[in-house]
């Protein structure tokens, strides 16, 4: 709803305009009356007024002067001149004073209503535009932190040909990179003991703590991989920028731990003089972060620390073979010992470079997955776990965390191999049992025939059958034939020699001997007893 001010020195016109129009239907909830421009101005200054309908000729302050003051002090107010034909020329001049429209009097109720309806439509449109612009400004202000972070990420984390354009655009986001030197640091947040749904919350908390430590003179933003980037604008008066940045990151690291008990590993890149070199400093900081793989996490590392890492390539061949052998032929205790040997070998190999360490772990994981590839059926979960392992290597902490993750995955491989082998073995045994159940009447049925049926060697089937069933193949076949014989003796009048041939014995004499050995009595005695 709007408010209206009618300013005219003639009471008849002033009150008439107020009464002859249904202002409420046009959207006006309150109407003020003034008999001159001075009084009108006082009302405007003390009340919210959306539209002023004013005469030109008035005492103390005429309509033109009022329009001029309103355009200067209250440009958002919509001013309409209400004037006679003799003052029309003045009315036209008022347009230059910010007046939106004018109405010639005398005017009837219908004409005035129609004219005011048109004016109110314009007023509605203007107010909607103002509201939209105001909303956009408010949203833009709220979005500035996120937009600033995106822009800083483009400038610092990814070299590109549009850098100068980004630098220019960043000024509108309250980013000042006009004066160096600069340094980039990286904070790697340890979220290993944090639920995935809480990652964003803890990263946000770490960013806020870092910002509180550093103040508004430096910029902090995420890199999209649960790492935090700090862009330092160094003071030209400081002699050793690098030492100051290093010590500052130590303070930030301790503040994060003391506040939310989250471990972090920090790294500091090189000092650079221009915004065009920021990506170089960022890359140096990321390279310095590689120190955590050999020297451990929860520390602050400097790009110069890389000078102390071994440059030659190393790979724990013997230890990796031991791990594979333990998974294939031994148990979980041996697997744990083999994993520990790999980590110990890597940790004592003269401070390997981060790239070398990543390559070692990638190859170890590949070797484990290669063992799975020999199996016919492997669960989708373990493949996904293996591929996920590749992705998190770059996010790993020190040797302790890597040992824990590698041991967990090695045990998964071990359990999967045993499960698949066991499942595959039982399938073979079940096929053999089905084959025997259908062919036990054949006196020539043998282990070699069963092995040929399931496409394995006789020796392999012999050992597998004993392992999975607890008895050998011959006993299983004999037990089955005996059970069938006893069933026939109890339920039929068949002769012994007939039962012998029916159950796969070559002659009745051998059947009788085998039956008595199995039951302790002859076939005829068994039948009589039953």
- Give yes or no: residues 7 and 71 share one domain: yes
- In-domain check, residue 382: yes
What's the pLDDT score for residue 161? 67
Identify whether 239 is part of a domain.
yes
What CATH number should be reported for the domain holding residue 225? 3.30.70.270
* Residues 242 and 354 both lie in one domain: no
Q: Of the ranges 75-89, 102-116, 266-280, which is most confident?
A: 266-280
Position 223 pLDDT exceeds 90: no
- pLDDT tens across 405-454, in order? 888 888 888 887 777 666 667 788 888 999 999 999 998 999 999 989 88
Mean pLDDT value across residues 496-505: 89
Between residues 510 and 400, the one the model is more confident about = 510
Q: How many separate domains does the chain show?
A: 4
C-alpha of 269 from chain center = 26
Question: Is 160 within the bounds of a domain?
Answer: no
Q: Last residue of a domain, which of 386, 419, 452?
A: 419
Of residues 351, 356, 230, the one with CA closest to residue 296 = 351
Question: What is the per-residue pLDDT for 97?
Answer: 58
Domain containing residue 468: CATH number: 1.10.10.60
**pLDDT score recorded for residue 266:** 92
Q: Is the pLDDT of residue 395 over 70?
A: no
Both 51 and 119 in one domain: the answer is yes
Rounded CA separation 23/7 (Å):
16
Q: What is the pLDDT of residues 462-476, one digit of tens each?
A: 888 888 888 999 999
Q: Does 190 lie in the same domain as 237? A: yes
Give all strands of the β-sheet with 300-302 in edge-to-edge order: 219-222, 227-233, 182-189, 264-272, 300-302
- In a domain? residue 378: yes
3 state SS of 52:
strand
At residue 47 the predicted structure's pLDDT band, cuts being 50, 70 and 90, is very high
Residue 167: inside a domain = no
Contact 162/143 with Cβ under 8 angstroms? no
Q: What is the arithmetic mean of pLDDT over 239-259?
A: 87
Are 188 and 286 part of one and the same domain?
yes
Among 276, 306, 336, the domain boundary falls at 306
pTM of the model: 0.45
- Residue 237, pLDDT > 60, answer no
pLDDT of residue 94: 56
Region 237-256: mean pLDDT is: 83
Which of the two residues, 198 and 162, has the higher pLDDT score?
A: 198
> What gap in Å lies between CA 331 and CA 325, rounded to an integer?
10
> pLDDT over 70 for what percent of the chain?
86
* One domain, residues 465 and 497: yes
Mean pLDDT of 479-500: 90
pLDDT score of 368 more than 60: yes
pLDDT score of 20: 84
CB distance 438 to 484 below 8 Å: no
302-355 tens-digit pLDDT? 877 666 555 556 778 888 888 888 888 888 899 999 989 888 888 776 566 666
Confidence bin at 394 (pLDDT 50/70/90): low
Rounded-to-integer distance, Cα 72 and Cα 90, Å? 19
- CA atoms of 207 and 249, how far apart (whole Å): 13
Same domain, 328 and 407: yes
Q: Is the predicted pLDDT of residue 378 greater than 80, yes or no?
A: no
Tokens (6 digits) for 341: 């040997």
**Same-domain check for residues 385 and 462:** no
The CATH number for 94's domain is: 3.40.50.2300
What local confidence, expressed as pLDDT, does residue 93 receive?
Answer: 61
- Please check whether residues 297 and 186 belong to one and the same domain: yes
* Residue 255: per-residue pLDDT: 92
pLDDT of residue 46: 92
At residue 199, the pLDDT reads 87
> If pLDDT is split at 50, 70 and 90, which confidence band does 191 have?
confident
pLDDT at 374: 65
The distance in angstroms from the start CA to the end CA of the chain is: 106
Question: What is the spatial distance between Cα 388 and Cα 408, in angstroms, rounded to a whole number?
Answer: 13
Q: CB-based contacts of 497: which residues, under 8 Å, 6+ apart? A: 507, 508, 511
Residue 152 in any domain: the answer is: no
500 and 406 in a common domain: no
Residues 194-231 as b or e (16 or more Cβ within 10 Å = b):
eeeeeeeebbebbbebbbebbeeebbbbbbeebbbbbb
Range of the domain at 42: 2-130
Q: Is residue 141 part of a domain?
A: no
Mean pLDDT of the chain: 82
Are 330 and 415 contained in the same domain?
Answer: yes
* 124, 131 contact by CB (below 8 A): no
CA-closest candidate to residue 188, choices 256, 245, 87: 256
Let me know whether 245 and 328 are in one domain: no
Q: Is the pLDDT of residue 133 over 80?
A: no
> Does a structural domain hold residue 454?
yes
What are 87-116's pLDDT values in tens digits? 556 556 655 555 667 777 766 777 778 888
pLDDT tier for residue 33 given thresholds of 50, 70 and 90: very high
């Amino acid at each position: 709803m709007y408010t209206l001010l009618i300013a005219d020195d003639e009471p008849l016109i002033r009150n008439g305009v107020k009464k002859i129009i249904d202002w409420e239907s046009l959207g006006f909830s309150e109407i003020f009356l003034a008999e001159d421009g001075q009084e009108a101005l006082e009302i405007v200054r003390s009340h919210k007024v959306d539209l002023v309908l004013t005469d030109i000729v008035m005492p103390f302050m005429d309509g033109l002067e009022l329009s001029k003051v309103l355009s200067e002090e209250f440009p958002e107010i919509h001013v309409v001149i209400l004037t006679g034909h003799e003052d029309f020329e003045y009315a036209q001049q008022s347009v230059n004073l910010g007046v939106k429209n004018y109405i010639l009097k005398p005017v009837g109720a219908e004409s005035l209503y129609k004219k005011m309806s048109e004016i109110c439509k314009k007023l509605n449109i203007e107010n909607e535009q103002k509201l939209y612009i105001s909303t956009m400004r408010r949203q833009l202000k709220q979005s500035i932190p996120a937009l600033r972070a995106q822009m800083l990420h483009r400038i610092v984390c990814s070299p590109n040909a549009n850098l100068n354009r980004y630098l220019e655009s960043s000024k509108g986001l309250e980013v000042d990179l006009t004066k160096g030197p600069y340094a980039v640091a990286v904070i790697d947040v340890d979220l290993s003991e944090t639920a995935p749904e809480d990652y964003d919350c803890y990263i946000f908390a770490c960013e806020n703590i870092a910002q509180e430590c550093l103040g508004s003179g430096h910029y902090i933003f995420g890199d999209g991989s649960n790492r935090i980037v700090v862009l330092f604008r160094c003071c030209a008066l400081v002699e050793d920028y690098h030492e100051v940045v290093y010590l500052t990151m130590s303070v930030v690291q301790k503040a994060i731990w003391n506040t939310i008990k989250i471990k972090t590993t920090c790294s500091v890149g090189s000092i650079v003089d221009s915004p065009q070199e920021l990506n170089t400093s960022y890359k140096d900081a990321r390279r310095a972060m590689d120190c955590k793989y050999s020297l451990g996490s929860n520390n602050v590392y400097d790009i110069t620390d890389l000078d102390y890492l071994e440059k030659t390539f190393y790979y724990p061949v013997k230890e990796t073979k031991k791990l594979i052998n333990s998974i294939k032929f031994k148990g979980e205790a041996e697997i744990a010992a083999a994993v520990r040997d790999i980590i110990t070998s890597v940790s004592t190999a003269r401070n390997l470079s981060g790239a070398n360490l990543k390559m070692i772990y990638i190859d170890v994981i590949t070797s484990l997955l290669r063992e799975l590839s020999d199996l016919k059926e492997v669960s989708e979960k373990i493949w996904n776990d293996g591929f996920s392992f590749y992705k998190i290597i770059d996010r790993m902490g020190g040797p302790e965390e890597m040992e824990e993750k590698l041991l967990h995955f090695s045990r998964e491989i071990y359990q999967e191999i045993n499960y698949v082998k066991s499942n595959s073995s039982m399938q073979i045994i079940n096929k053999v049992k089905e084959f025997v159940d259908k062919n036990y009447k054949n006196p020539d049925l043998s282990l070699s025939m069963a092995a040929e049926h399931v496409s394995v060697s006789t020796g392999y089937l012999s050992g597998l059958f004993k392992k999975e069933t607890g008895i050998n193949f011959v006993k299983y076949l004999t037990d089955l034939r005996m059970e069938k014989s006893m069933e026939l003796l109890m339920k039929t009048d068949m002769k012994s020699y007939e039962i012998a041939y029916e159950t796969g014995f070559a002659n009745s004499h051998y059947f009788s001997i085998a039956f008595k050995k199995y039951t302790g009595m002859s076939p005829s005695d068994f039948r009589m007893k039953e």
